[in-house]
Structure formats: structure tokens, C-alpha cells
Amino acid sequence: MRPQSSSSDALTGRVIRRGDTDYPEASAGWNLLFAHSPQVVVYTQETADVVNALTWARRHEVPVRVRSGGHCLEGWSSVDDGIVIDVSEMKSVSLDVEAQTATVGAGLNQLEAVTALGREGFAAPTGTEGTVGLVGATLGGGFGLLTRIFGMASDNLLAAEIVVPADDGGAEVIVADEAHHTDLLWALRGAGNGNFGVVTSLTYRVHPLTQTIYVTATWPGLDYLPAVFDVWQRSAPATDSRLTSQIEISRDAVQVLGVLVSGSKAEARELLAPILAVGAPEITMTDASWVDNYTAFQIPTADEPANWKFLSQFASTPFPREAIDLICTFMSNAPTPQCNYFANAFGGEVENSEPVGGSAFAHRNALFYAEPGAGWGLRGGPPATADPLTTVCLKWVADFHEALAPYVSGAYSNVPNADSVDYRIDYWGTGVDRLNAIKAHYDPHHVFSFEQGLSTPDD
Ligand SMILES: Cc1cc2nc3c(=O)[nH]c(=O)nc-3n(C[C@H](O)[C@H](O)[C@H](O)COP(=O)(O)OP(=O)(O)OC[C@H]3O[C@@H](n4cnc5c(N)ncnc54)[C@H](O)[C@@H]3O)c2cc1C
């Protein structure tokens, strides 16, 4: 494919600078716990705008961050006094029904991707929150309610167009696919966020999908938590791979949510029978298209807390009773109703198959992904620094994560553990050396560098 490189160092696209009317919105991320003041945000409309932005940043020696959906939990898709290259307005979709592939612009969020593909009777696996960027979720792995049948989002990534630093001090466009830049494709499947370049479009394997059953089972209070958790962790990662389920625990309730692909309500009830037999949960089941079910469980951003801290963990053996008791204790003492403990079942296709050429995602053998999470504060309310809940919530979630440390291993780069010293090993295990070599090849001057990037200049 091309390489196309730039000789221009003018910024093109929708360029927002400090003082512009749109600057407050353009400089804010989703998690209001973090605030940054970049000198410029460029909303790129086409790949050439990305080439120009990267070239400009290099020639002017301005720090670069890349952004799509803006949900980076630690605020690392922005930077004080730097340039944010924001691809969120690059929203093309091109579906090849015959080949069962789709090439999409890197600006789609997950709801837009689910909707665009679903309208044509297809799906690619994504995460569950519609406003999260598809590219941000995919480049770190990407699990959700279709994971056990179709694998991680990144397992379905066949190719990516990416703007990388060029030897002449500018930028060039390359395509990583199963025949070209194969090492880079491997790296983009799980370690691509902010590390190598700016992904401008992604090509996915897509799957015919028209009908799903969405199930929720809710147990008020925490009395049934030990029994529900134990049965869930032993059955959910091993059941029919058409069923993926999650457990979500707040201080007021335990909920199991699941999606059965191409099945009936009776079948969903049968597959979930061991879990549903605990106590007398309130059960809902909706038989609908994937788009309708996915759309129905979205929560508008305005209704979500302003501030968040999630920490990530993977479990490869079932939690013993002591670990489940710790979850009970911490959740009983959760500082806000939005604090939670969340887990997503793995197994199925994640465990059974890797994409051609492999993937940097290192947690294929996990039974489940889990995260203690704290949410607090109102959007439009006082900043996190003025909210006494900030200290309380940060301590609660850090203590919770630490208490479970003996029972978990690894971490998920999309949900960074910012205080981890060994974060590279936690995220990518034995793949770290290969990733550092790929980094050295594509970005030898560390143009793409952030708090937990691959080999930063300080290493
Ligand atoms: C509420 C919530 C729910 C979530 N649920 C899930 C879930 O169900 N499953 C799951 O797997 N994850 C989940 N996540 C984690 C999510 O996958 C990551 O936060 C994801 O990286 C966010 O992507 P973004 O594009 O929205 O964020 P951004 O802040 O735009 O970017 C995130 C990272 O990706 C980099 N990046 C963005 N665009 C590009 C690009 N074009 N090229 C190269 N790098 C880029 C950024 O530099 C940054 O490092 C959730 C996160 C939140 C906040």
C-alpha cells in the first residue's frame, strides 16, 4: 500500500485552540477526575489531516496524544500544552457482505459500529458501553457480551491503516494486515493504544447476527452474593460459547447479565439454570436484534457519575470463599451506590482460537476479567478536587484491588492500573520484549509516549 508522507506542516481538519468557543468541550475527556489543557485539538476529517498533524507536532516538538472516544480512564489521551489528534469525526463504514469484512473509520464509537453493522445483519464483538471508541477498545483487546462466541474485538481485527512517524521527520501512512507489517498488526491486537501511531481505519471480520436474547437476573441486597458469585464463576466461563455473561455487584444488589446469540428464551434459561436456581432473582429476558438489545442497555453519559476509578484484574482459577467474602465486605462498605465490582466471563473463542498471525492480548486463558470500580460526583457539579468523596473513593478502590491481589494476576491495558510498577508485564506478559522491538522499529524517537507507554525515553 502507499506509503504517503507529508511535506506540509500546516494543521488541517477542525482545529480548536485555547480561547475558542469549543475549547472546553474539546479539551475534556469522559472521566472528569482528570483535566488537561492541550494547546490545540485537531479533529481530523481524513487521513491527510492526521499526517499533517503528526508532521506539525514533530516539526514544532509538541507532545502528541491520540484520542477517539475519549474514555481513557486515566486521562492519557490528552496532555497539557500538547496536541490532541482526535479521530472521532472519521466515521466511514464500508461493509463487504460477500467477504464478511467491514472497514470502518477510527472515529466510530461502539454504539455507532454496532448499529451500522447490525442494520446489515452483521456484528463484530465490542465492549458494552456505546460511547467508548471502537478503536480504543479494540487496540487494547476489547471484551463484551459477544466475546465467548466471536473472541475479543482485536481477534477480529484483520487490518489497520495507521499514520506513523517517517524517517524524514514527518509522518507516513502504512497498512498493517496479515501480509504487510505483520508484527505491527500483532501488536495492534492488544497493545496498540497510543504506542505506535494514529490508527485511521480498521478492517474487521464480521459475523452474521440477527437475533439475540438479553437476560438480566437481579438479587436485591448482598445476601446471595457468595452463592451467586461462586456458581457464576464456575459455570459462566464453561457454558455454551453462544452465551457470554457478566456479574455486576453494587452495594444494593447483585446482577448477572447475559447475551445468548441465536437462541431462545427457554435455552437461555436452561444455560443459566445453575445461577438462576440461587434464591429467587428477578429475571428479565428480551428477544431482539443485537442492535436493539445493545441500544437498550446504554446509559446516557449525562446520567453517569463525573469521576471514575476502575482497576483491572484477571482470574485464572475460581475465587476461594475468602476472596468472595472480601468482595462482600468491600461492597457492603462501598462509599457510593455507583461503586461496583464487575466481572466478564472468558473461555469460549477467546480461549480456543487466536487470529491468524496471533495477538499481543495476553489473557486468553483467564476464567474471567474483573474490576473493582468507584464512581462518584455529578456531571456539572464541583470538580473532583473539591469533592471529599474523591479521597474516600480512591482509597476504597485501591484497598479493594489490593485485598484481591493474592487471587488474581495480570491487568488490562484498557483499564490501566496507574500505580503498577510492572505494568508492562501485567498487561502483556511474555510479549513485552517483542512489543518493545516493534516500538523501536516504528517509533524509534518516542513520538508516541505517555505515562504507561512501551519503552519511554526515560527507560
Ligand atoms: C464506562 C466504560 C466502560 C468500559 N467497558 C469496557 C468493556 O465492556 N470492554 C472493554 O474491553 N473495555 C471497556 N472499557 C475500557 C475501554 O476499552 C478503554 O477505556 C478504551 O481504551 C477507550 O477508548 P476510547 O477511544 O473511548 O478512549 P480514548 O481516550 O480516546 O483513547 C484510549 C486510548 O487509546 C488511544 N487511542 C485512541 N484512538 C487511537 C487511535 N486512533 N490510534 C491509536 N491509539 C488511539 C489513546 O491514545 C488512549 O491511549 C470501558 C471503559 C469505560 C470508561
Q: In what order do the strands lie in the sheet with 171-177?
A: 4-5, 171-177, 157-165, 198-205, 101-105, 93-96
- Which range has highest mean pLDDT (8-17, 263-272, 296-305)? 263-272
Burial class of residue 170, CB neighbours in 10 A (0-12, 13-18, 19+): buried
Ligand 1 atom closest to residue 344's alpha carbon, by position in its atom list: 8
> Which of 279, 215, 282, 219 is closest to 245 using CA atoms?
215
Q: What are phi and psi of 347, to 5 degrees?
A: 85, -165
Question: DSSP readout, 358-390?
Answer: --S---TT-SEEEEEEEEES-TTSS-GGG-THH
Three-class secondary structure of residue 193 per DSSP: coil
Q: How far is the CA of 273 from the centre of ligand 1 (A)?
A: 34
Under 8 Å between Cβ of 126 and 62 = no
pLDDT in tens, 40-70: 999 999 999 999 999 999 999 999 999 999 9
Residue 458 pLDDT grade (very low, low, confident, very high; cuts 50, 70, 90): very low
- Mean pLDDT for 88-110 is 98
Q: What is the reported pLDDT for 4?
A: 54
* DSSP conformational letter for 336: S
- Mean pLDDT for 87-101 is 98
- In the chain, domain spans: 4-86, 93-208+430-442
Nearest CA to ligand 1 atom 17: 137
Question: DSSP readout, 254-275?
Answer: EEEEEEEES--HHHHHHHTHHH
Residue 455 pLDDT grade (very low, low, confident, very high; cuts 50, 70, 90): confident
Q: What are phi and psi of 224, to 5 degrees?
A: -90, 0
C-alpha cell at 394: 480512591
Q: pLDDT at residue 445 above 90?
A: yes
> Which of 116, 106, 259, 121 is closest to 173 using CA atoms?
106
- Mean pLDDT for 102-118 is 98
Q: How far is the CA of 138 from the centre of ligand 1 (A)?
A: 8
Q: What are phi and psi of 334, to 5 degrees?
A: -60, 135
pLDDT in tens, 177-202: 999 999 999 999 999 999 999 999 99
pTM higher than 0.75: yes
Q: What percent of the chain has pLDDT over 70?
A: 97
User: Cα–chain-centroid distance for residue 233?
Assistant: 22
Residue 9 pLDDT grade (very low, low, confident, very high; cuts 50, 70, 90): confident
What element of type H or E holds 189?
A: helix 182-191
Residue 2 pLDDT grade (very low, low, confident, very high; cuts 50, 70, 90): very low
Burial class of residue 384, CB neighbours in 10 A (0-12, 13-18, 19+): buried
pLDDT in tens, 315-328: 999 999 999 999 99
C-alpha cell at 389: 468523596
Residue type, 31: N
pLDDT in tens, 145-163: 999 999 999 999 999 999 9
Q: What is the reported pLDDT for 457?
A: 41
Q: How far is the CA of 275 from the centre of ligand 1 (A)?
A: 31
Q: Spell 411-441 as b/e; 16+ CB within 10 A means b.
A: bbbbbbbeebeebbebbbeebbebbeebbee
> Which of 415, 401, 319 is closest to 366 using CA atoms?
319
Three-class secondary structure of residue 35 per DSSP: coil
Place of cell 472497514: 103
Nearest CA to ligand 1 atom 4: 129
Three-class secondary structure of residue 161 per DSSP: strand
pLDDT in tens, 223-237: 999 999 999 999 999
- Mean pLDDT for 120-141 is 98
Q: How far is the CA of 338 from the centre of ligand 1 (A)?
A: 20
C-alpha cell at 21: 468557543
Q: What is the reported pLDDT for 195?
A: 97
- Per-residue CA distances from 310 to 6, 118, 415 (Å): 39, 30, 7
Alpha carbons within 13 angstroms on the beta-carbon side of residue 320 total 5
Where is pLDDT greater, at 112 or 302? 112
The domain 93-208+430-442 having CATH identifier 3.30.465.10: the answer here is yes
Q: How far is the CA of 132 from the centre of ligand 1 (A)?
A: 6
Q: 8 pairs with which residues across the strands? A: none
Q: What is the reported pLDDT for 7?
A: 52
Cα–Cα distance measured from residue 429 to residue 425, given in angstroms and rounded to the nearest whole number: 4
Pick the CATH number of 4-86 from 3.30.70.20, 3.40.50.12780, 3.30.43.10, 3.40.50.2300: 3.30.43.10
Ligand 1 pocket: which residues have CB below 6 Å? 30, 65-73, 76-77, 87, 106, 127-129, 132-133, 135-137, 139-144, 192-194, 198-199, 414-415
- Output the average pLDDT for the chain: 96
pLDDT in tens, 334-348: 999 999 999 999 999
Q: What is the reported pLDDT for 310?
A: 98
Q: pLDDT at residue 451 above 70?
A: yes
> Which of 46, 350, 369 is closest to 189 using CA atoms?
350
pLDDT in tens, 256-300: 999 999 999 999 999 999 999 999 999 999 999 999 999 999 999
Q: What are phi and psi of 390, to 5 degrees?
A: -60, -50
> Which of 84, 134, 127, 190 is closest to 413 using CA atoms?
190
- Mean pLDDT for 401-414 is 98
Q: What is the reported pLDDT for 1?
A: 44
- Ligand 1 pocket: which of 32, 67, 76 to mutate (most atoms within 8 A of CB): 67
Residue 425 pLDDT grade (very low, low, confident, very high; cuts 50, 70, 90): very high
